[in-house]
Chains A and B, each alone.
Chain A
């Protein structure tokens, strides 16, 4: 295994006394792509800010190339860069923004060429954009300029916080391609927080699920959030929009999150396919996990999207395709609570 480029040890981070992140151990290897999945407020952005050395952890240690790293540390600051969720450009031209990091590094040679290359990587022609002021850009263009300002630095670690959340589809496509190319061409390790699960499954070597500031799985688990209530049958669960009932075991508290990592499917919902609970849903999307070759089907049950892992053979034999109605089975006893 490659020597880690980034490591986290016994990290705890708090804001105003409230712990928002608690990670015992995490390693990132060079040229890997790690996806962070989790609901809003789960700690993804805090983790990225800490890894990006924009903040100092309340407790614990972050290491870069085996050396302790903290904000402003000379060993790490030129090699790690973070692209925040909302595009933020400084009050200068596009050229000024993209070349800013190079100036901080004291680089004066071939700056035009480097800026030109970075802008073209994100689909912005140099001659049309280089001299535009910061305020004359659309949201998508601003986000692409912000990414170009990071790519021009040839970072060893690039942290992307919801890079495509607030941009149009075309910009999102270009941002995804440019980030992936950085890994391919420069060997940059990418750590990406996104709600675009299929994209993450497709590109990531590893996906991590964050909830309430803790890493608890690989991101393929189906996670269902509370609040939970007593159903008429006396069991716990929630009513779905299509009048089906999602039943669960007794939760640790009414707002706990249920993790179900053993969902199975059937075409007819026959009890012989197993499971205490059988729900009818529609396949809305199929995505491929590049690393393992597994296929993940997003099945919408009521208004709840559930992710089910399938083998290629299963997908072929059961003729799973978007739009098909299928049945999901799970055992109450296999639900974990966090």
Chain B
């Protein structure tokens, strides 16, 4: 178990010494996860809100589909996105295979159902008295919509964190679509997989701790925002 202790020290060393390879993987991870979470929030929150707020025919089956997609295996998404982005695929001309935007597309597909599903749950879980309260204050339809969205922000934020956690920690899409190319598409998780294969457990643990630190930073920031909100 010495490699765990070694990993702790190595993590500090890598971060403090500004190890270029480590920071390249961190930067790639932050960049690609920001792309994917940003796009899935922009697309997913309105869709999730509509799914939770409105009653319409086919809502239940749609909800079941979204809930099922929340458990999509990353390697399956990786396979599909690879197939679409490869030269033989319909999107092959865009040259997105083995690029960070390519990984981001796959991760967006991964996180979108989570954002939609948990946003819908957050909106559905709102107190029924909220609507009457907002309406009785004189809101028009648009104000009712926006105020309800704002009131469900904590639940939506929780969904966003869950989606971010899933995106940050996935390996399958990054490996298959990104190709784990050093200095280019190597993310923290693909680097950990590689280091483990090489028997470099210490380095793997170090990168794992960095990943954990990023997740911790995100959660602390979100908790701070929640307290302020």
Contact = CB atoms under 8 A, between A and B. Distances in A.
A123 B138 CA distance: 24
Contacts of A53: 135
A54 B136 contact: yes
A78 B151 CA distance: 21
A100 interface: yes
Given A91-B154, A91-B229, A84 B137 contact: no
Given A54-B135, A72-B140, A91 B129 contact: no
Contact of A88 (B133, B138, B144, B147): B133
A258 interface: no
Chain B binding surface, main DSSP class: helix
A101 B137 contact: yes
A86 B129 contact: yes
B151 A77 contact: no
B16 interface: no
Contacts of A80: 136
Contacts of A88: 127, 129-130, 132-133
Interface in A50-92: 52-54, 71-72, 74, 77-78, 80-84, 86, 88, 90-91
Contact of B135 (A71, A86, A91, A146): A71
A81 B151 contact: no
B141 A72 contact: yes
Contacts of A91: 151, 153-154, 229
A186 B59 CA distance: 46
A1 interface: no
Contact of A149 (B137, B153, B154): B137
Given A88-B130, A91-B151, A91-B229, A81 B136 contact: yes
A84 B136 CA distance: 9
B141 A90 contact: no
Contacts of B144: 72
B129 A104 contact: no
Interface residues of B, number: 21
Contacts of B153: 91
Contacts of B132: 49, 52, 54, 82, 84, 88
A231 to B, nearest CB: 44
A238 to B, nearest CB: 37
Interface in B100-150: 127, 129-141, 143-144, 147
B151 A104 contact: no
A249 to B, nearest CB: 42
Nearest to B127: A88
B133 to A, nearest CB: 5
Interface in A7-52: 49, 52
A105 B138 contact: yes
Contact of A77 (B127, B130, B131, B140): B140
15 contacts: A52-B136, A54-B136, A72-B144, A77-B140, A88-B132, A90-B151, A91-B153, A91-B154, A100-B137, A104-B137, A104-B139, A105-B138, A149-B137, A150-B137, A153-B137
Given A88-B129, A88-B130, 20 more contacts: A52-B136, A53-B135, A71-B135, A72-B135, A74-B140, A78-B138, A81-B136, A81-B137, A81-B138, A84-B132, A84-B136, A88-B127, A88-B132, A88-B133, A90-B133, A90-B151, A91-B229, A105-B138, A150-B137, A159-B136
The 5 A-B pairs with the shortest beta carbon distances in the complex, nearest first, are A101-B137, A82-B136, A88-B129, A77-B138, A54-B132
